[in-house]
Amino acid sequence: ALLVYEHYLLKDGSLKNVNTAFFNVNGMVSAAMFLAALINYSI
């Protein structure tokens, strides 16, 4: 869902939302993947 939101932010072709799309959303995706890996290895 976050990757879809990232693409939605940049759909109009303007670059004003690049910081939000790249840094914030990718940071959330990275944190979610880290937590999933941490849970996987702790089980």
Summarised one tens digit per residue, pLDDT across range 1-15 is 887 888 888 888 878
pLDDT computed for residue 34 by the predictor: 97
pLDDT computed for residue 40 by the predictor: 95
Summarised one tens digit per residue, pLDDT across range 19-41 is 877 888 888 889 999 999 999 99
Number of DSSP helices (H) and strands (E) in the chain, helices first = 3, 0
pLDDT computed for residue 39 by the predictor: 96
Residue 43 has pLDDT above 80, yes or no: no
Q: Which of 41, 43, 3 is nearest to 21 (CA)?
A: 3
Q: Where are the domains of the chain?
A: 1-42
Structure tokens, 31 = 């944190």
pLDDT computed for residue 16 by the predictor: 82
